[in-house]
Structure 1
Amino acid sequence: MVTLKLKTKEKEHTEKAILLLILGITTGLKKQIITIDEGEKLIFSPYVIDLLSDYNLDPNIVDLIHQGTELEDILSIIPETLNNKIEEIHVNTLSVLEQKKRFQLTEHLLDV
C-alpha cells in the first residue's frame, strides 16, 4: 500500500490543490471517464468534509465538495439534471480557483 500525503504549511496551497482535484474530477465526470463513485472515493464524501473541517478552508471549497456529495442522489432522483449539476460544480470551481491564482505553489505538496 502506498500512502500519499498532502504536505504544506500554507492553507492557500491546500485549497488550490483541492480545487485542482475537484476540477479534474468534474472534467472526468463530464467526459464520462470516471464514475461518481470514484469521485466520492477521491473527495466528494462527508468523510472528507469532516477531515477538512479542522483546517478552516474557504467555505466555497467546502460547499463545492458538499455539492459533489449530492451527485449520486441527483443521478437516482433526477438524472436528467446530472450533467448540468456537474457543469455547475466545474464552473464554480474555476471561479474559486481564479480567486486563488495569486497563491503560487512554491513547494512540492505530495509526500510519501
Structure 2
Amino acid sequence: MNKLLLNTTNNEELEKLLLINVIGLIEALKKDLLTIEETEKVLFNPYTMDLLQSKGISKEILEIIHLGTELEDIVSLMPEKLFESLSEIEYESIVQLEQRKAYKFRNKVIESIN
C-alpha cells in the first residue's frame, strides 16, 4: 500500500486543496471517468466531513462536500437532476476557490510516508 501525507500549513491551504479536488471529482463524474461510489471513497462521505469539521474547515466547504454525499440519492430518486446537481457543486466550488485566490501554497503539499 502506498501512503501519502497531505501537508498544509493552514486551513486556507487545506480548503483550497479540497476545492481543487472537488472540482476534479465533479469533472470526472461529468465525463463518466469516475463513479459516484468512487467519489464517495475519495471525498464525499460522512467520515471525511466529520474529520474536516474537526479541523475547522469552513461551513461553506463542508456544505459543498455534503452536496457530494447526496449524489447517490439524487441518482436513485431524481436522475434527471444529476447534471444540475453536479453543476451546482462545481459552481459553488469555483466561487469558494475564487475567494481563496490570494492564499498561496507555501510548501509541497504531498509527501511520502514510508
Q: Does 1:3 align with 2:26?
A: no
Q: What is the rounded CA distance, in whole Å, between the counterparts of 2:61 and 2:97 in structure 1?
A: 9
Query: C-alpha distance in 1, partners of 2:66/2:4?
Result: 23
Q: CA RMSD in A?
A: 0.8
Which residue is 2:36 aligned to? 36
Q: State the 1:3 CA deviation.
A: 1.1
**1:50-106 superposed Cα distances (whole Å, 9 cap, x missing partner):** 111211111111000000000000000000001100011001100100000000111
User: Distance between the aligned counterparts of 2:10 and 2:51, measured in 1?
Assistant: 17
Q: Number of residue pairs matched?
A: 112
> Which residue number in structure 2 is paired with residue 87 of structure 1?
87
Deviation at 1:5, TM superposition (A): 1.4
Which AA in structure 2 matches 1:15? E
Which whole-Å CA distance do the structure 2 matches of 1:105 and 1:22 have between them? 17
Percent of pairs identical after alignment?
Answer: 38
Q: Which residue of 2 aligns with 1:49?
A: 49
**Are residues 1:110 and 2:80 paired?**
no
Unaligned runs of 5+ in 1: none
Separation in 2 of the partners of 1:47 and 1:18? 15
Equivalent position amino acid for 1:67 in 2: L
Distance in 1 of aligned mates of 2:3 and 2:63: 26
Question: Unmatched 5+ residue regions in structure 2?
Answer: none
What TM-score results when the alignment is normalised by the length of structure 1? 0.96
2:44·2:68 contact (CA, 8 Å) conserved in 1?
yes
2:69 counterpart residue number: 69
Alpha-carbon shift at residue 9 of structure 1 (Å): 2.1
Structure 1 outlier segments of 4+, above 2 Å: none
Amino acid of the structure 2 residue aligned with 1:72: E
